[in-house]
Chain A
Amino acid sequence: MNKVFGKLIDFISPPTLVYAHCDIPCGIYDPHNAQMAAHTVIRMTTLINELPEPKPDWKKKEADSWAHKLSRYTSVKEEHAELVNREIRILWADYFKPEHLNKHPKLHEIVWNILKTASKARQEVDIQVADKLLDEVNTLAEIFWQTKNMGHTKFRAPYPTERETVYPTSKKN
Protein backbone atom coordinates (compact mmCIF):
# COMPACT_ATOMS: atom_id res chain seq x y z
CA MET A 1 0.00 0.00 0.00
CA ASN A 2 2.81 2.38 0.97
CA LYS A 3 4.65 1.47 -2.22
CA VAL A 4 1.66 2.28 -4.45
CA PHE A 5 1.04 5.55 -2.62
CA GLY A 6 4.75 6.45 -2.81
CA LYS A 7 4.89 5.72 -6.54
CA LEU A 8 1.82 7.92 -7.02
CA ILE A 9 3.55 10.77 -5.17
CA ASP A 10 6.68 10.19 -7.28
CA PHE A 11 4.56 10.37 -10.42
CA ILE A 12 3.11 13.73 -9.40
CA SER A 13 6.39 15.12 -8.09
CA PRO A 14 9.72 13.28 -8.58
CA PRO A 15 11.63 12.45 -5.37
CA THR A 16 14.42 14.71 -4.13
CA LEU A 17 17.65 13.67 -2.43
CA VAL A 18 17.71 14.10 1.32
CA TYR A 19 21.12 13.92 2.94
CA ALA A 20 21.74 11.68 5.93
CA HIS A 21 25.49 11.76 5.99
CA CYS A 22 28.19 13.35 8.07
CA ASP A 23 29.62 15.41 5.25
CA ILE A 24 27.20 18.16 5.99
CA PRO A 25 28.36 21.65 5.11
CA CYS A 26 29.32 22.93 8.54
CA GLY A 27 29.76 26.48 7.33
CA ILE A 28 33.17 26.78 8.97
CA TYR A 29 35.55 27.96 6.29
CA ASP A 30 38.61 30.14 6.57
CA PRO A 31 41.64 30.75 4.32
CA HIS A 32 43.84 31.05 7.42
CA ASN A 33 45.09 27.45 7.24
CA ALA A 34 46.19 27.92 3.63
CA GLN A 35 47.94 31.17 4.52
CA MET A 36 49.81 29.57 7.40
CA ALA A 37 50.81 26.64 5.20
CA ALA A 38 52.10 29.07 2.55
CA HIS A 39 54.18 30.80 5.26
CA THR A 40 55.62 27.43 6.20
CA VAL A 41 56.57 26.77 2.57
CA ILE A 42 58.44 30.12 2.54
CA ARG A 43 60.17 29.31 5.81
CA MET A 44 61.26 25.85 4.71
CA THR A 45 62.51 27.19 1.37
CA THR A 46 64.55 29.81 3.25
CA LEU A 47 65.99 27.21 5.64
CA ILE A 48 66.98 24.95 2.74
CA ASN A 49 68.64 27.86 0.96
CA GLU A 50 70.50 28.78 4.14
CA LEU A 51 72.01 25.34 4.56
CA PRO A 52 75.77 25.44 4.02
CA GLU A 53 77.20 23.94 0.88
CA PRO A 54 78.18 20.34 1.66
CA LYS A 55 81.92 19.77 1.70
CA PRO A 56 83.75 16.61 0.61
CA ASP A 57 85.95 16.60 3.72
CA TRP A 58 83.00 16.48 6.14
CA LYS A 59 83.00 13.72 8.69
CA LYS A 60 80.05 11.34 8.75
CA LYS A 61 78.40 13.14 11.65
CA GLU A 62 78.45 16.49 9.83
CA ALA A 63 77.23 14.96 6.57
CA ASP A 64 74.42 13.11 8.38
CA SER A 65 73.35 16.26 10.19
CA TRP A 66 73.21 18.19 6.91
CA ALA A 67 71.27 15.45 5.14
CA HIS A 68 68.93 15.10 8.06
CA LYS A 69 68.11 18.82 8.10
CA LEU A 70 67.62 18.92 4.34
CA SER A 71 65.30 15.91 4.52
CA ARG A 72 63.23 17.42 7.29
CA TYR A 73 62.90 20.84 5.65
CA THR A 74 61.98 19.26 2.33
CA SER A 75 59.44 16.96 3.92
CA VAL A 76 57.72 19.84 5.73
CA LYS A 77 57.77 21.97 2.58
CA GLU A 78 56.11 19.14 0.63
CA GLU A 79 53.53 18.57 3.31
CA HIS A 80 52.56 22.24 3.64
CA ALA A 81 52.43 22.91 -0.10
CA GLU A 82 50.00 19.99 -0.30
CA LEU A 83 48.09 21.46 2.66
CA VAL A 84 47.70 24.73 0.71
CA ASN A 85 46.26 22.70 -2.16
CA ARG A 86 43.89 20.82 0.10
CA GLU A 87 42.59 23.90 1.93
CA ILE A 88 42.10 25.82 -1.30
CA ARG A 89 40.30 22.89 -2.91
CA ILE A 90 37.90 22.78 0.05
CA LEU A 91 37.15 26.49 -0.24
CA TRP A 92 36.69 26.18 -3.96
CA ALA A 93 34.49 23.09 -3.90
CA ASP A 94 32.50 23.60 -0.71
CA TYR A 95 32.43 27.31 0.07
CA PHE A 96 32.47 29.40 -3.10
CA LYS A 97 29.18 29.59 -4.96
CA PRO A 98 28.13 30.86 -8.41
CA GLU A 99 27.16 34.26 -6.99
CA HIS A 100 30.72 34.68 -5.69
CA LEU A 101 32.03 33.94 -9.17
CA ASN A 102 29.70 36.55 -10.62
CA LYS A 103 31.17 39.16 -8.30
CA HIS A 104 34.74 37.90 -8.66
CA PRO A 105 35.09 36.59 -12.22
CA LYS A 106 38.79 35.75 -11.76
CA LEU A 107 38.05 33.37 -8.89
CA HIS A 108 38.57 30.18 -10.94
CA GLU A 109 41.79 31.54 -12.41
CA ILE A 110 43.13 32.52 -8.96
CA VAL A 111 42.38 29.05 -7.56
CA TRP A 112 43.91 27.38 -10.60
CA ASN A 113 47.05 29.51 -10.24
CA ILE A 114 47.38 28.64 -6.53
CA LEU A 115 47.18 24.93 -7.27
CA LYS A 116 49.81 25.27 -9.98
CA THR A 117 52.12 27.41 -7.83
CA ALA A 118 51.80 25.04 -4.87
CA SER A 119 52.88 22.17 -7.09
CA LYS A 120 55.82 24.22 -8.35
CA ALA A 121 56.76 25.09 -4.75
CA ARG A 122 56.97 21.38 -4.04
CA GLN A 123 59.10 20.67 -7.09
CA GLU A 124 61.57 23.51 -6.62
CA VAL A 125 63.52 25.32 -3.92
CA ASP A 126 62.74 28.80 -5.16
CA ILE A 127 61.88 31.59 -2.75
CA GLN A 128 60.20 33.55 -5.54
CA VAL A 129 57.81 30.68 -6.15
CA ALA A 130 57.11 30.37 -2.41
CA ASP A 131 56.45 34.13 -2.19
CA LYS A 132 54.15 33.93 -5.21
CA LEU A 133 52.20 31.18 -3.49
CA LEU A 134 51.53 33.33 -0.42
CA ASP A 135 50.61 36.33 -2.61
CA GLU A 136 48.06 34.26 -4.50
CA VAL A 137 46.60 32.78 -1.33
CA ASN A 138 46.36 36.30 0.10
CA THR A 139 44.46 37.41 -3.00
CA LEU A 140 42.00 34.58 -2.44
CA ALA A 141 41.75 35.51 1.25
CA GLU A 142 40.78 39.07 0.28
CA ILE A 143 38.00 37.73 -1.93
CA PHE A 144 36.92 35.30 0.78
CA TRP A 145 36.50 38.05 3.38
CA GLN A 146 34.67 40.22 0.88
CA THR A 147 32.15 37.42 0.30
CA LYS A 148 31.68 37.31 4.07
CA ASN A 149 30.99 41.05 4.04
CA MET A 150 34.02 41.48 6.28
CA GLY A 151 36.71 44.06 5.96
CA HIS A 152 40.31 42.96 5.63
CA THR A 153 43.72 44.38 6.30
CA LYS A 154 47.24 43.44 5.31
CA PHE A 155 50.32 43.63 7.47
CA ARG A 156 53.57 41.83 8.11
CA ALA A 157 52.97 38.57 9.88
CA PRO A 158 54.71 38.17 13.24
CA TYR A 159 56.57 35.08 12.06
CA PRO A 160 60.16 34.61 10.90
CA THR A 161 58.86 34.87 7.33
CA GLU A 162 57.72 38.48 7.98
CA ARG A 163 55.65 38.51 4.78
CA GLU A 164 52.54 40.61 4.37
CA THR A 165 49.43 38.64 5.17
CA VAL A 166 45.72 39.34 4.79
CA TYR A 167 43.64 39.28 8.00
CA PRO A 168 39.91 39.90 8.45
CA THR A 169 38.67 42.97 10.26
CA SER A 170 35.25 43.72 11.67
CA LYS A 171 32.08 43.11 9.70
CA LYS A 172 30.98 45.82 7.30
CA ASN A 173 27.61 47.44 7.89
Chain B
Amino acid sequence: MLPIRSFIVKGHSMQPSLSEGDHILVNKWAYLFSRPKVGDVVVFKSINEGKYILKRIQKIATQGLIVRGDNKVDSADSSFFGIIKPEQVLGRFLTKY
Protein backbone atom coordinates (compact mmCIF):
# COMPACT_ATOMS: atom_id res chain seq x y z
CA MET B 1 0.00 0.00 0.00
CA LEU B 2 2.87 2.39 0.80
CA PRO B 3 4.28 4.34 -2.16
CA ILE B 4 7.80 3.65 -0.86
CA ARG B 5 9.23 0.18 -0.39
CA SER B 6 12.55 -0.85 1.08
CA PHE B 7 14.95 -3.43 -0.32
CA ILE B 8 18.34 -4.92 0.48
CA VAL B 9 20.64 -5.33 -2.51
CA LYS B 10 22.05 -8.79 -3.18
CA GLY B 11 24.79 -9.08 -5.80
CA HIS B 12 27.38 -6.88 -7.44
CA SER B 13 25.95 -6.06 -10.85
CA MET B 14 25.09 -2.47 -9.88
CA GLN B 15 28.54 -1.53 -8.61
CA PRO B 16 29.86 1.12 -8.23
CA SER B 17 26.44 2.78 -7.84
CA LEU B 18 24.99 0.22 -5.45
CA SER B 19 26.73 -2.56 -3.57
CA GLU B 20 25.69 -5.80 -1.95
CA GLY B 21 24.04 -5.17 1.39
CA ASP B 22 22.96 -1.61 0.58
CA HIS B 23 19.53 -0.68 1.91
CA ILE B 24 17.56 1.19 -0.70
CA LEU B 25 14.17 2.83 -1.03
CA VAL B 26 12.10 2.48 -4.18
CA ASN B 27 9.36 4.82 -5.29
CA LYS B 28 6.46 2.70 -6.49
CA TRP B 29 4.57 5.74 -7.73
CA ALA B 30 7.44 7.13 -9.80
CA TYR B 31 5.80 6.20 -13.07
CA LEU B 32 2.22 7.13 -12.24
CA PHE B 33 2.48 10.43 -14.09
CA SER B 34 5.72 10.02 -16.00
CA ARG B 35 7.39 7.45 -18.21
CA PRO B 36 10.58 5.55 -17.46
CA LYS B 37 13.70 7.27 -18.78
CA VAL B 38 17.05 5.95 -19.93
CA GLY B 39 19.36 5.99 -16.91
CA ASP B 40 16.66 5.29 -14.33
CA VAL B 41 17.52 2.51 -11.89
CA VAL B 42 14.44 0.36 -11.58
CA VAL B 43 13.23 -2.66 -9.64
CA PHE B 44 11.24 -5.14 -11.69
CA LYS B 45 9.89 -8.60 -11.15
CA SER B 46 11.44 -11.52 -13.02
CA ILE B 47 8.77 -13.47 -14.89
CA ASN B 48 10.56 -16.78 -14.46
CA GLU B 49 11.04 -16.88 -10.72
CA GLY B 50 9.16 -13.95 -9.32
CA LYS B 51 12.32 -12.42 -7.86
CA TYR B 52 12.85 -8.67 -7.72
CA ILE B 53 15.74 -7.51 -9.93
CA LEU B 54 17.60 -4.21 -9.81
CA LYS B 55 18.96 -2.77 -13.08
CA ARG B 56 19.44 0.47 -14.99
CA ILE B 57 17.38 1.29 -18.07
CA GLN B 58 19.70 1.26 -21.06
CA LYS B 59 17.19 1.78 -23.84
CA ILE B 60 13.47 2.19 -24.28
CA ALA B 61 12.11 0.07 -27.11
CA THR B 62 8.59 -0.08 -28.46
CA GLN B 63 8.13 -3.49 -26.84
CA GLY B 64 9.44 -2.43 -23.43
CA LEU B 65 12.59 -1.61 -21.50
CA ILE B 66 16.10 -2.87 -22.14
CA VAL B 67 18.11 -2.93 -18.94
CA ARG B 68 21.55 -3.82 -17.67
CA GLY B 69 23.71 -3.44 -14.59
CA ASP B 70 26.32 -0.75 -14.05
CA ASN B 71 29.01 -3.36 -13.47
CA LYS B 72 29.81 -4.25 -17.06
CA VAL B 73 31.92 -7.25 -16.14
CA ASP B 74 29.36 -8.86 -13.86
CA SER B 75 25.87 -8.18 -15.04
CA ALA B 76 23.26 -9.92 -17.09
CA ASP B 77 21.39 -7.67 -19.46
CA SER B 78 17.99 -7.89 -21.11
CA SER B 79 19.30 -10.45 -23.57
CA PHE B 80 19.22 -12.91 -20.65
CA PHE B 81 15.74 -12.26 -19.40
CA GLY B 82 14.00 -10.57 -22.30
CA ILE B 83 12.62 -7.09 -22.69
CA ILE B 84 11.04 -5.81 -19.50
CA LYS B 85 7.39 -4.95 -19.89
CA PRO B 86 6.15 -1.82 -18.07
CA GLU B 87 3.82 -3.89 -15.88
CA GLN B 88 6.85 -5.80 -14.52
CA VAL B 89 8.37 -2.59 -13.15
CA LEU B 90 7.70 -2.10 -9.46
CA GLY B 91 9.29 1.31 -9.17
CA ARG B 92 12.30 3.58 -9.45
CA PHE B 93 15.29 3.66 -7.11
CA LEU B 94 14.96 6.63 -4.80
CA THR B 95 17.86 6.63 -2.37
CA LYS B 96 20.17 4.58 -0.18
CA TYR B 97 19.73 4.74 3.56
Contacts and interface: CB of A to CB of B under 8 A. Distances in A.
Given A2-B95, A2-B96, A20-B11, A13 B49 contact: no
Contact of A20 (B5, B14, B23, B81): B14
A9 B6 contact: yes
**Chain B interface: which size bin?**
35 or more
Given A12-B2, A25-B81, A26-B76, A20 B12 contact: yes
A18 B90 CA distance: 11
Nearest to A22: B76
Given A6-B25, A22-B76, A15 B11 contact: no
Contact of B13 (A10, A12, A22, A27): A22
11 contacts: A2-B96, A2-B97, A13-B6, A17-B8, A18-B9, A19-B51, A20-B53, A20-B54, A21-B11, A22-B75, A27-B82
The 4 A-B pairs at the shortest CB distance, nearest first, are namely A21-B11, A6-B97, A18-B7, A15-B6
Interface of A: 2-3, 5-7, 9-10, 12-27
